Structure formats: structure tokens, C-alpha cells
Structure 1
Amino acid sequence: MTMIRPVAALLASVLAGVACAVEVRYSMWDTTQLPAYRQCAADFEKANPGITIRIVQTGWADYWTVLATSFVSGTAPDVITDHLMKYPEFAKNNQIVDLMPYIRGDNIDTSVYAPGLYELWGRDGRQYGLPKHWDTVAMAVNMDHARKAGVTLAELQDMNWNPRDGGSFETIVRRLTLDAKGNNALSPQFDKRHVVMYGYQNPGHGGMMGQTDWSHFAVSNGFRFQDRPWDPNFHYDDPKLVQTLVYLASLPGKGLSAPYEHAKPLGSKAMFIAGKVAIVPEGSWMVTNFRDHARFAHAWVPLPVGPIGTRASMFNGIADSISSGSRVKEEAWKWVKYLGSTACQEVVASHGVVFPAIKGMTERTLEAHRAKGVDSSAFFTMARAKTFLAPIADNGGEVDHVISTALEAIWIGSGDPASLMRHANARANEIVKR
């Protein structure tokens, strides 16, 4: 009996410890980043034995619907992977926590993040997220097809474009576009009604951000979204943007891209992986996806130089926010702080999926990509080119709907582009100022 009592006491102590453990629920949408963040969670739990992390992954298409429902029902995760287009509304509705008291209380050095990323998540002295990675946009090219067409990597890396004739970009796209008889789009015999390989495909309408769809073309043509973050005046009626949209919308009519209504249900990513399109613009978060699914040689190349004389890319980032309804805010903050720390972001860099937000880690991600046979330096090239921030304002969801509706009309050739964007911009500005 004397030996049983200590064992019983030990068991009771262990059970008590388990009962006192705090669970932090963390939501994210990207499956390719799961392994990295599972490792971060395991490392965090070792350093914080009283806290467990439960990661819940939901695909992008359902993520925001599920999250909105959970906010209403009071079942929201403690920590969410947040987006610039969504967080202003969450903040306005008091659904996410101001992190500034925690940041000041723990003396967090926010200067470690790449310029602009931290500031995007703050307003009027409040802070709603800590950055965890940055991204830019480049172009993926089917190199097996490019070589057959006689298009070199050097040519692809040195493209330029303009809204009048498309520049060398359109010439290359024409060389890469093939009809059923093997004629490319430079040939007088080219049949645009029977295309088997499109030279280029826009991802979609792009919404108010146009991140991978049109923003890089438009900004390299002289367009700007706002004069500064949170400015209540958008410039979606800018003739430079209209020029850009008209040019991109003209590509299907030339047989160089699939019509919007045909490409929309398939998606440019699936079309590229299936070998139906030679060039697509995509974000750096797609490097691993394309590496794992494309069964042909492909390369990432910088975006074309535009009329203003430089390349341009949105410089964007994702951050983590704490739900206002969380009952474990202190533990949730510890997890958010860790997600934004060097320790976790080094793990993310080593997995080679995204570029961590902390300065100086880009080369580690490039090395991780190179070790897996991928040269992702085009994204770093874009980070050193002209970069611009995503548009951000109140009532972003409504603004996005208004701009998306106008863009879809342009893509399908319904209405005058200048008029559509003028009316959409006026309406967007009204919504922001409400």
C-alpha cells in the first residue's frame, strides 16, 4: 500500500495538469503551409506546456463564410489567419482584438518586419495583426512548350508590355499560342476558333485588389489605387486602369486567351497544370503547388516592364488576429506573438512555401526552393522592383462587390469600360465614406 499511494498522487497530479491545459484554436486556409505551422505549434507547445494549439484548416472558398458564421454564433477560433480585404470590417464590428496593449506590454520590436507590412494592419493607434509572410507576383511559364516554340528563358525574363500593341509580351504570347493544326498566332493561317494551347490566361476578374489579375499591368502603366492607405478616395476610374483592362479583355478576341466565361469555371491554375495555357501570373504562395502538380518543366519569370519603365507588383502580406470572443486571449496572444517571431518564421522559411515577413529570411526560402529544384528568384526580383500596397478601406467587402461587377462586365464585353469604371468608382467612394 505504501507504494501505491505515491503513484496515485502522481496520476492525480498529471490529470490535474491535463485538465488545466488551455487550448487555442487557430484557423488557416492554405494546406501547403500546414506542415510548417504544425511544426511551429509543436515547438510552441514544448515551450509552453500549459497551452495546446488546435489548427483548423478550411479551403479559401469556404474559409470566410465559415468564419463569418462563427463570429455570429460566438464559436469563432481564438486566432485567425486574416486578410487585408477582410480585417477592416472585423475591426469595425469589434470582432478582432486591438493588439497594441500586448505589443507595448511585451516590447515587441516591430521594425523586424519587411517595410510596410506591419503598418498595413494598424489604424488610429490600434493594431489588428502581426505579419507572418510577404508575397509578390510573377509569371509561371510552361518551359517544355516554350522551348518547342523557340522561346528562350532570357526572352521571357526580359518582356515588356504596353496597352497599344502588347509589346514583346504579346509577341511571345502569340508565339506560344497554337491552334489545332499547329499554327501559332503570328501565322496568317492561325485559327483562333480552334486553339489547343493559349499563350496567356488571366486568373479572373480580380476584384478590388486585382492582385494576380491586372494590378501589376495597371500600376506599371501609371495607375494607383489610393494616394495612401485608408484614403477614402479610390482611382478606379483612372484612364490608365481602363486602358489596361481594355487591353487584357482584348486577348480572348485575338485567340490568345480563353474567353472569361470559359476560363472562370476551370481557373487559370488548373488550365496551366493541365497544359492548356503557356503563361499565367501567380503569387509566390503557388510555388509549391505548381512544383507538386505540374508534370512538365516550368519556370518563374518576372512580370513585364510597363510603359512607366519598370516592373510592378503588389507587395502583400498575411497576418494573424485574435477574435474578440476568445476566452483565452492571453494564451492566444502568446501564440500570435510566436507566429510572428523569428523562431516560427525560420521554420516557415525552411519549408520553402512562402517568404517570411521578418527581414533577412528571403534567402533561406530561396535556398529551400532551390533544394527542391525551383528557382523562385523572380519573386525577389519583383520585391526589388516597383512595389505597391493593396487597397485598404472601410466596407471593403461591399467595395469589392461593386468593382467585381464592373470588371466582369468588361471581361465579357458588356458595356463601355470607361463608363463602367467611372460609375463603379463613384459608388465605391460613397460606400467607403458611409
Structure 2
Amino acid sequence: MITKLFSIATLVLVFLGAITSAQSASYDFLITNAHIVDGTGAPWFSGDIGVSGDRIVAMGDLHGASAKQHIDANGLVASPGFIDVQGQSEFNLLVDGRAASKITQGVTTEITGEGVSIAPVNDRLIAEDLRDRAKKYGVALDWRSLDEYFRHLERARPAINLGTFVGAGGLRTYVIGKDDRPVTAAELEQMRELLAQGMEQGAFGVSSALQYVPSRFASTDELVELAKVARSYGGVYFTHQRSEADQIFSSLDEVFEIGQRANISTTIWHLKASYPENFGKMPEILKRIQAARARGIDVAASVYPYNRASNDLIACFPSWIAEGGTDKMLARLNDPAQRARAKKEMDQPSSVWENQWLGSGGGKGILLIQVLNPDLRKYEGMNLEEIGKEIG
């Protein structure tokens, strides 16, 4: 009994000593009187946070401590940085590493690589997707592998942490371009090898964006085979599914099939029922996801809390317009007959492609927010209907 009491007394003295040490300590940065949310799921509590260097070293009652810098957070919340599970800052961070739009919202970590990723890349991918932006912003395209990209990113000293998937669409473009055809067995094996390399260099898994070219041309079997590679490295599968509108139920079935056949943890990005004619489908969508989980499929979904979407303008066109790459796309758009065909298809519902033009209400529902051509910058902030009237 005496031994036990002595042990308890010793623990109490050690604990009190730690408190005294914390209260009398000196920190580089001290946040006091905060509502602290510690990330464990526990309720918030009032307290102080002491930071030395780039580490939180104390948390609790630090009223006796001193610091080089001090913030009184009375009435404010202090929490771990938020993780944005679907950002697209992988190139922007090389332009401006401050990441102001993220940091000012409390985001300190971003996961990127939706369908296409910053690496691996080859000359074809650089010409199609990166060269114009790199020229505009003065970014040296000195990477091909994910490992090389991360080295470039470290030199940029970004304000946020960055993780990425390897995009299945990028793998497709790397190996066969943007052609609408099945991959051969040899081509699929090359895609699998590129994915394995990316996983070994730090990727979190494989992703797809199946509404867009070239990912739209991928079969379910192709995606399963890639997901199996990611799974073998402990990775996951995230998807912008094939339809978020009229074909959403068959699209969900494909998501469930990939997750089940590859035995991989699967997440649907920005789950939604797009456009007014589909708004009432969400209860059934959630019911089907719950049923899939009950069958043992590891599937979940993320959502975003706003009623807008941002995309490249090419997403408003039928898939065949962009098939084959930029040169073929421009040739089609310069052909009056093919322009007329595209215009007709854009004004009609489709089960073949996701008609974002029609779903957005046409030109009045699409706002131009950024262009690379300085001659067109005067149209930024206008919708396409307004731009059409301006041009005449």
C-alpha cells in the first residue's frame, strides 16, 4: 500500500511539475484563450497553445508563459488545418507558393490529381496540358516523374502540404493519347507500370474523372485493372463518376463494381444530383450507397457546400469534339458542318455524354472566369450569352 501511494504521489508531482514548467516556459508563439478543437473528435475546450519553431509543444493552461509573439484568440476557434480532399493547386503552387486562397480558409493540406495528375508526364502530355500555362507563368517544366515534381515543389516552398493521386486519364493520354478506343493488353500493362512507379514515389492511389476526355473512353475493366495496382500498394480509388445527372444510377453501379472487383477503398468526389430534373434523386442515391456498404463494398462520398461548379469550357462540348487531342478539336470547331452538329447536340439531352451546357441553362448559366489569351480578358466576368451579344 505504501509503495502504491508513493507511486501515485510521484505521478501527481510529475504532473504538477509539467504544468508548472509549461506555465513558466517561453515560446516563439503563444495563442491564448482559444476554443481549441484538437482533431480527436472530443468537444472543444478553452485553453492556450504554445509553439516553438514549427511545432506545437504545449496545450492547456499556459497563463504564466511568455512568448516572442502573442495572439489573444478570445471568442475564436483554434483547430488543426483543414484537408481539402479535392483541390487542383498542383501547378498553381509552382506559380505562387503562398496559396492564399487555401490558407485564408484554414486549408493546410490539399489532395489533388482528379482524373489527370501533374505526373507522370511525357512530351505529349506537356504539349496538350501544360506548355501554354507554363509559358504564361514562367514555370520550368523540368519534371517527368512524380518524384521529380515533388523536388520542384519543395524548391517552391509552398505554404500548404500537397498529396496527389495518379490520374487514370493522364495514364491513358501518356500511352495512347486522347483517342476513343480500347487499350491493348500491352498498353494497359504500360499504364499499370506507370501507376506502380507513381505509387512507389508517394501517390495516394489512382483516380478517374469519367465525364471528361480521355477518361470517358476508359472501360470499367480498364479502371479495375488500374485500381488493383493501387490496391497492391495500399492505395485507394477516388472518382469523379461517369454521370452526376441523368445516368447517375448506372454510374453508381460502375463505381460499386470497380470497388468490389479491385477490393479497394473507393470514394466518390463531390457527390451530387446535377440539374433541376435530377434534384429529387438524392435520397435514392444515398440508399444505394448504403446498400453497397452493407454488401461489404468500402465506398463513401465527399460533398461540397455550394451550388456552382468550375470547369474548362471544353466540358460543355460533346466528347467527340475533344477526341484525339487539341489539333483535331480545333479542326472540328473550324468545320461549319461539325460546328452545326455540336450545336444541335448541345441543345438536346444525351445518354452518351454529360451535357453540362444544357444542364447549366445554356450560355446564360456559364460564366467565363479566366482566359490565357490577353485579348479575350475583357470578357472575364461575363456569361457566354453576354459575350455573344458583345461580339454580335
- Choose 1 or 2 for highest CA Rg: 2
TM-score higher than 0.5 here?
Answer: no
TM-score, normalised by the number of residues in structure 1: 0.25
TM-score, normalised by the number of residues in structure 2: 0.27
